[in-house]
Amino acid sequence: MAPPNKLTLPLTPICLLVYLWCFGVFMTLALGSKARHFKWEVDYMYATPDCLENVVMGINGQFPGPTIKARAGDTVVVHLTNKLHTEGVVIHWHGIRQFGTPWADGTASISQCAINPGETFVYRFKVDKAGTYFYHGHYGMQRSAGLYGLLIVDVEEGKKESFHYDGEFNLLLSDWWHKGAHEQEVDLSSNPMRWIGEPQSLLINGRGQYNCTLAPAHNSNGSSLPVCKFRGNEQCAPNILHVEPNKTYRLRVASTTALASLNLAIGNHKMVMVEADGNYLQPFSVNDFDIYSGETYSVIFRTDQNLSNNYWISVGVRGREPKTPQGLAILHYKSTTSSKLPNLPPPKTPQWNDYTRSKSFANKILAFSGSPRPPTNYTRRIFLLNTQNRINGYTRWAINNVSLNLPSTPYLGSIKHGLTSAFDQKSPPETFVNTYDITMPPSNPNATYGNGVYKLEFGKTIDVILQNANALNANVSEIHPWHLHGHDFWILGYGEGKFSKKDEKKLNLQNPPLRNTVVIFPYGWTALRFVTDNPGVWAFHCHIEPHLHMGMGVIFASGVHLVGKIPEEALSCGLTGKLLRSNNHN
């Protein structure tokens, strides 16, 4: 997280970004930084995430994967070996902008080739900004299979946060199906499509409880009732957060769910929002908060409740009719025993379709005073209509009626080396017809496959208007959390219906939050602004795993000619692989 900027220099937004980057480099040199090395092996393993044994993807025999901890300015080096026998793998470092290392972004067919079975790829990148991040698989639906973990970046040595706390905890939220990811991929690619359905359980740090009556297992005096024995396996027992009374704690929360939008609450404890996606917020108090797939938050809470009680931490489904029980953890006051179940039931999750409440929360998220402001004007504006469509009878998700179908050659290498036959050179559509009725199923549901790129001029200001619409079935418009790689963006605002000129005056240019993931609400729009200050090729997509798998994403490219030498191992497939082999042979 960049420290709050209290300077009032008359700098343009571009100059300000350059100034902050140079200042960060200077401070890194002055205070010193470290290279943090990790050797990882990715493989399938057996685990019991929700008390039912299943196959998951793990790293070094761990599920979820190991937590990486570093300080801003450090270099993270991960030697990743693919121990899978029949499929490739990549890992995306979610929220890390990869300045100068776009090939380390970890996106198959975009920034690199998939790492083949038995091969090792070295991810080397700088974590330039403190904050709460995570990593996950970005090949097929491997995130659904459990390939994820936390990445925590503390402030530089000798610096302090803008808020005080006595200790901290990390919560990684995910959802879990008993049907494997490969079978889910087949279901989604079938004609007719077989929807994956709602998850069987919600996991907190990889633990959930399926078909277990733990939550109601309390009585008036709070004594434990032996109704949930976790089938003798502590792997699925609720996480316990051990706290001292009358202390202040930071709770870092990241959501890597494949589908579910969630709401988190701590029984009887208020929370103060202080960070989102690695950026400071204007603090505000909440009893609970929504978190969408791809988002991260930090909240501060005080352990000022009854010292003889423990309290539930609960997460429940929002935005979809919930058919999945709450995920649970326990806040344990050390003044009492950890085996004592809370004497109050878990906090009740808000009504799943109370979007008024969700929008109210989203609109309270504002940038900390002194944070960089967006440029006043934009250079280019792109409208992205989120639609569900059909192609040759197959159900697909599409943007402006184009469903993303990734090429076999990574974009970064093919653009860098001028391989124009590697992907469609025609730019995707930048808007949709004015007569499109977003409140009804598409009158013409047919779409096309495409793998074209939005080529953006380097150093310019880009606006994106995400426009939601009705899906194929009547009266259905879903939540879509969108994630941008390689950049943070300013969220200028949300609105109802179709974006029009009258909505311009609603945009917030004074204190919009900087984020890397944002939600678009049903039948609404979300306006973003970002500066193309990071050379590379970057994915921008819905973070719901099955939606991305079915084509819901676009590709931005900017300043690729400024990218340095790309490691050969990132380009060993497709046309770039042939080019490298030819050059080496000659």
Distance between CA 508 and CA 160 in Å, rounded? Answer: 29
Residue in 451, 457, 458, 456 with CA at minimum distance from that of residue 411 = 451
Structure tokens at 476: 């259905």
Among the listed residues 355, 454, 354, 361, the one whose alpha carbon sits nearest the alpha carbon of residue 400: 454
Give bridge partners of residue 269 from the DSSP assignment: 266
How many Cα atoms are found within 13 Å in the side-chain-facing hemisphere of 422? Answer: 26
Q: Which value, in Å, is the radius of gyration of the alpha carbons in the chain?
A: 23
User: CA–CA separation, 267 vs 106, rounded Å?
Assistant: 38
Query: Which is it for the CA torsion 200, 206, 212, 213, positive or negative?
Result: negative
Instruction: Find all residues with CB under 8 Å of 584, minimum gap 6, and list them.
Output: none
Tens digit of each residue's pLDDT, the chain (586 residues)? 544 433 333 344 444 443 344 444 444 444 468 999 999 999 999 999 999 999 999 999 999 999 999 999 999 999 999 999 999 999 999 999 999 999 999 999 999 999 999 999 999 999 999 999 999 999 999 999 999 999 999 999 989 998 999 999 999 999 999 999 999 999 999 999 999 999 999 999 999 988 765 555 443 333 333 345 554 567 788 999 999 999 999 999 999 999 999 999 999 999 999 999 999 999 999 999 999 999 999 999 999 999 999 999 999 999 999 899 999 999 999 999 988 889 999 999 999 999 999 999 999 999 999 999 999 999 999 999 999 999 999 999 999 999 999 999 999 999 999 999 999 999 999 999 999 999 999 999 999 999 999 999 999 999 999 999 999 999 999 999 999 999 999 999 999 999 999 999 999 999 999 999 999 999 999 999 999 999 999 999 999 999 999 999 999 999 999 999 999 999 999 999 998 888 876 6
Pairing of strands 167-176, 131-137: unpaired
Q: 259 and 201 in contact (C-beta within 8 Å)?
A: no
**CB 331 within 8 Å of CB 241:** yes
Which single residue is written with the structure tokens 């198959």? 108
Tokens coding 525: 């729009």
pTM: 0.92
Provide the pLDDT for residue 235: 75
Nearest-angstrom CA–CA distance, 91 and 114: 9
Alpha-carbon distance 302 to 245, whole Å?
8
The tokens of 550 are what?
């079915």
- What pLDDT score does 528 carry? 98
- Strand 524-531 and strand 296-302: the pairing is unpaired
Contacting residues for 386 by C-beta, under 8 A, at least 6 apart:
397, 399, 466, 467, 468, 469, 480, 520, 542, 552
* Cβ neighbourhood burial of 112 (10 Å; 0-12, 13-18, 19+): buried
pLDDT value of residue 5: 39
Task: Write the pLDDT tens digit of every residue in 258-300.
Answer: 999 999 999 999 999 999 999 999 999 999 999 999 999 999 9
